[in-house]
Structure 1
């Protein structure tokens, strides 16, 4: 711990000293000259690592983008102010950012979904009324079956739109979590990669110090966060956690899955498996972030199943809400593992 603290202590003075020598035109000492030679070599090595990782074209533009720069600054500040080693700082920053960004969006998404389910209960009565009106209009205006059907369908669509506007629950809002979570995941991943490879400016003293701190800021079997996890523990854990998230979402549904949902589940299962070999080739700092982010997502999905939690955050009660979600999940897990007979039908919450 002494080395990172020492580097952090001298971070700003070193930068100031460098600018002083540069702008005043003073004679550069041998120590400073050797330091710059080392910086140049580090810069070349970092560029080679970046190019070897495919950081060209679009990815290079993303690496140099403003959101990634802000994310790098946030990660460094959280590390400096917390005083934690880099692995713990990455976990802390992940939990903080997801609590601020994705957790509120997830709660809002569940509110929208609950409102849509509630207004769907109003539609049968509206449909019956529209059928009567369509039959009366057909007799009065001598409409054909085709004309009556067209007017009837337009009326249903208009009434549905009115209900959506009334409760402010457009179905597109159910995708809001992806709009926040995917950019956050990309920006933080690229920012951590930049910190590992001293990008976008390998000659920066701060970049060199951060990378040096990461080389001794790991834990257990990965003391160096700038290298891959050769034990494959983190990559395998990442795949298992992502698969657990998908299965929890699938098993918590109270209605039979549609064909589209089954296809989506299979696609995400495939992506979870593909992420394992990808995680085996990236620095451990990225693996720590990915595992921490997925762990937060799994805990979030489990927590939001609780009726008590849903009421506390203002999610309306619905007919498809599970009364005892954790008991049901455990029963379904046992059934999949053939440790128990087929579980009873899901119990929707009482009205």
Structure 2
């Protein structure tokens, strides 16, 4: 219990129909209060209960705020991804010379300016790159066709060159081969067209995989059909099966140039390898395997065009000459063929080393002979002095 003395002054003013009245009172009074219950505690308690929200209400409000912020952040990222420079802002597409970053830059340009989803961007970019490389494949197909015309003579010259151990004789055979190829319009530099596909394919593979691993905004919901998420693996292996099928098709048809003549052993090899690639690529992102499938489909279409006689005539591509297969012994398997090629390469390396040693010996002999045949001019006076001595 405690006492509290309060100097209390109450002033009340009111208006009524009878007129205003005024009451003022002031006096000093001491009031005794109970320590366990303060005056007005019930009112304070009710006010606290009505002003402070419950725990459930606070949790709900916090969740709503977080969801609102998340939506706003997603909207900001989505708006940024539709502008040029988004990929560089997240550490991708930093240059225009490195193949993966070059592919990323090209894909970003197509995605932003065309408004296509990412699956359409991958397909469009792949087709455009194949169209740009098509003239090189036309030249390569023409070179292979001209090469097939002189294949028997060229094989004989190559065998003669492989068996040569003399430097001069080897140079003569090499000149003979060069003349044969020049007379038939064979330019080996165009045979490198299929090799250029290697850095391009690696650029697509690495660039799209980086975008899927980040992941780039839109990769998770801008797929199509059964692979709506380009960052996840194809759950049905449909893209892998399509890729294997198209690769088997165009190798059976004559490669990407339509003019390659594979042996039965090589055809079996190119049939097995695409099938092995199915389990090897089953965990890759769908965006990466989508590129493989579209690129393989482009190869099939290109092969069919380059095998068409009317199309080859319009583009002035030589016709492929098919020769009868060699009947020297039974057909060899892949392992036997690989061993034979390794043995030939080893023998060729030994011959080259022997030729280099012979060339060094010939150079040393020529130097000695030149030194022994050197003529010195001596004055007559010096000669007379030497004779007197």
Residue matched to 2:108: 76
Pairing of 1:71-220 with structure 2 (within 5 A): 71-101=103-133, 103-118=134-149, 158-167=175-184, 169-171=186-188, 173-174=190-191, 176-198=192-214, 211-220=216-225
Residue matched to 1:10: 80
* Residues 313, 8 of structure 1: alpha-carbon distance in 2 compared, 3 angstrom cutoff: farther
Q: CA deviation at 1:9?
A: 3.7
Q: CA deviation at 1:191?
A: 0.4
Residue matched to 2:246: 241
Residue matched to 2:307: 305
Residue matched to 2:379: none
Contact 2:119 2:223 in 1 (8 A): yes
Residue matched to 2:265: 263
TM-score by length of 1: 0.56
TM-score by length of 2: 0.51
* Residues 70, 253 of structure 1: alpha-carbon distance in 2 compared, 3 angstrom cutoff: closer
Corresponding residue SS for 1:225: coil
Unpaired runs of 5+ residues, structure 1, are 20-38, 44-62, 128-146, 199-207, 322-351
Contact 2:103 2:207 in 1 (8 A): yes
Q: CA deviation at 1:300?
A: 0.8
Q: CA deviation at 1:284?
A: 0.5
Question: In the aligned structure 2, how far is the partner of 1:170 from the partner of 1:14?
Answer: 42
Question: In the aligned structure 1, how far is the partner of 2:301 from the partner of 2:83?
Answer: 42
Q: Deviations over 1:207-230 (max 9, x none)?
A: x6xx22111111111111110110
Q: CA deviation at 1:311?
A: 1.5
Q: Deviations over 1:139-177 (max 9, x none)?
A: xxxxxxxx9xx9999766533311323555245643x23
- Determine which structure has the larger helix proportion and give its number: 1
Corresponding residue SS for 1:213: coil
Unpaired runs of 5+ residues, structure 2, are 1-72, 158-163, 324-389
Q: Deviations over 1:62-111 (max 9, x none)?
A: x998221111111111111221111111111101011112x222111111
Contact 1:254 1:320 in 2 (8 A): no
- Determine which structure has the larger strand proportion and give its number: 2
* Residues 276, 242 of structure 1: alpha-carbon distance in 2 compared, 3 angstrom cutoff: same
Question: In the aligned structure 2, how far is the partner of 1:14 from the partner of 1:99?
Answer: 24
Contact 2:127 2:298 in 1 (8 A): yes
Question: In the aligned structure 1, how far is the partner of 2:74 from the partner of 2:106?
Answer: 18
Please point out which of 232, 241, 259 is paired with 1:227: 232
Contact 2:141 2:258 in 1 (8 A): no
